[in-house]
Chain A
Amino acid sequence: MITIDSLTKAYGRTIAVQDISFEVKRGEVLGFLGPNGAGKTTTMKIITSFMPPTSGVVTVMGYDTVKESIKARKCIGYLPENNPLYHDMRTTSFLRFVAKAKGIKRSKVTSCMERVIFECGLEEVRSDVIRTLSKGYKQRLGLAQALISDPPVLVLDEPTMGLDPKQIYEIRQLIKDLASSRTIILSSHILPEVSQVCDKVAIINKGRIVAIDSTSSLQRGLQDNARIVLKVKEKLDETMQIINSIEGVLSVSSSNSCVLNVETTKDIDLRPELARRVVEAGIDLYELSRKDMSLEEVFMELVTEEITPDA
């Protein structure tokens, strides 16, 4: 659906995005992660034909975003960063304008408008002036204008920025509902959000893609060792000794009085063995679980790794 081939964008001498390539398939939700100024917004602006790339080719549904820009734009719903809206207009008049601007047939304008008003929960504010809407409603309206033509591709630049937790939850649910039939690219700073909503994550730093993979394999792939966490009732030292004697265990440490972190080699799963030995020794076992790296840790590791050689 979206292919990006060796895309580079330079603003004068500063290079915002350097030689990135990736592909997003139909029905996929790609999370775009990176520190501020990494090139996320630039990439999104190029995908949506707002700016042309300095070099490289971007296609959306097979249409080149430079040469067949109008056709490509027809396939995209775009929620820009900071969610710009015409503050002097009313909700319905704005949506009506967007529907017509996107080339929806005159006879279908009203039905499309009613659909997004329903989908995005805008009934209460349908005749309000946009300036007076709360941030949550503005964000929903931003999403509504992106969705009105029912586009196969959605590009959302920080869709939950500045919302309160309840609103974030609602927007996230909405995106999840939309995901089934569409290709979505969304950028975010909030990592748990990305791991909840997205199938695939691209991490970008200093204009380059440093990792692109499914969320779970990213979390597993970066670990050198497997980690298991145990929680026991008492006899911490005794348990540590028992665990240390198991083959494959690399190290044991305790973070507080009853939790043990066990590092084992990556290729074997020691969980059954651990459980049996601990229980056989008559120790009360509360919890035993395998711990993957959180997306936060993956992100920090990738971004920091990239910074070190430069510095």
Chain B
Amino acid sequence: MRSVYDKELYIYFSSPIFYVIAGIFLCITGIFFYNNMVYVSLLASQIAQYQISTGISLNDILLRPLFADMSLLFLFLIPIVSMRLYAEERAQGTIELLFTYPLSDLQILAAKYLAGLTVLAAIGACTLVLMVLISLITSADWGLVISSYIGLFLMGSAFLALGVFASSLTRNQIISASISLGLILGFWAIGWFANTMNSGTIATFLKEISVVGHLSSFLKGMVTLKDVAFYFCFTLFFLFLTLRILESRTWRG
């Protein structure tokens, strides 16, 4: 399993794709960060000028919007990280090597998934620089920062599982990315539907399966068992589906 994990990371870091998406993600996050900081300083100067006391905290105007923006960028980032995991092997024919080496499907899946997760975590970890910057100017609510990172990580791992599933369906990386982006946006949009419906079982149900909805409590600084369990089950469900898809080669003609 370690061997496949190492191989996946090797390919991620030796191909330009990682650097391109990491670069774009970090640039846009940086722009958001700059924008929020300008807003913060504007507010701060006004507060200083007019000597008003407000209930506005740094959490509301800087951290929460920043993490919300990052979660949005993650939605687009994940399909590109996950698209190659199986589709590329199928397209290049190397799946024939991988599936004839003495490795079980589960070992291969776990290795590939963890490699993808490592890449996401590495990109996410780059944004810690921004937290360092914040800590230099002011003292932030570190509890909120930690819970937001946990939330982002869990949401990322759930969507990555979905992306791996999409990748196992096809030999074409573009189709793989399109399917996972479509599904991810679908799970995102479900949340809006739930909000427009005022009540009822369906509204509650939609609200509960909205993947982004479960992120909101993390962005408020809460790590609740319900949300952690949701992301965990979502991840396992799609990994399980992927395993079934891979196994289907043993009975499909």
Which A residues are within 8 Å of any B CB, using their own CB? 10-12, 45, 48-52, 54, 66, 70-71, 73-74, 76, 78, 80, 82, 84-89, 93, 97-98, 100-103, 145
Contact = CB atoms under 8 A, between A and B. Distances in A.
Contacts, number: 77
Interface in B224-253: 249-251, 253
B103 A89 contact: no
Interface in B1-40: 2-4, 6-7, 10-11, 14-15
Given A11-B253, A52-B250, A101-B103, A86 B3 contact: no
A87 B92 contact: yes
A88 B3 contact: no
Interface of B: 2-4, 6-7, 10-11, 14-15, 92-104, 249-251, 253
Contact of B97 (A45, A71, A80): A80
Which 6 A-B pairs rank lowest in CB-CB distance, beginning with the nearest? Answer: A84-B93, A100-B3, A101-B3, A12-B253, A73-B102, A80-B96
B94 A93 contact: no
27 contacts: A11-B253, A45-B96, A48-B100, A49-B100, A50-B99, A51-B250, A52-B251, A70-B102, A73-B101, A73-B102, A84-B94, A84-B95, A84-B96, A85-B97, A86-B92, A87-B92, A88-B10, A88-B14, A97-B3, A97-B4, A97-B6, A97-B7, A101-B4, A101-B102, A102-B101, A102-B102, A103-B102
Given A80-B96, A84-B92, A89 B101 contact: no
B10 A82 contact: no
A205 B104 CA distance: 33
Given A51-B249, A97-B6, A74 B102 contact: yes
Nearest to B96: A80
Contacts of B103: 70, 101
A18 to B, nearest CB: 14
Contacts of A85: 92, 94, 97
A70 B11 CA distance: 25
Nearest to A13: B253
Contacts of B249: 51
Contacts of B253: 10-12, 54
Q: Which of A54, A84, A85, A89 has the most chain B CB within a 10 Å cutoff?
A: A84
B96 to A, nearest CB: 4
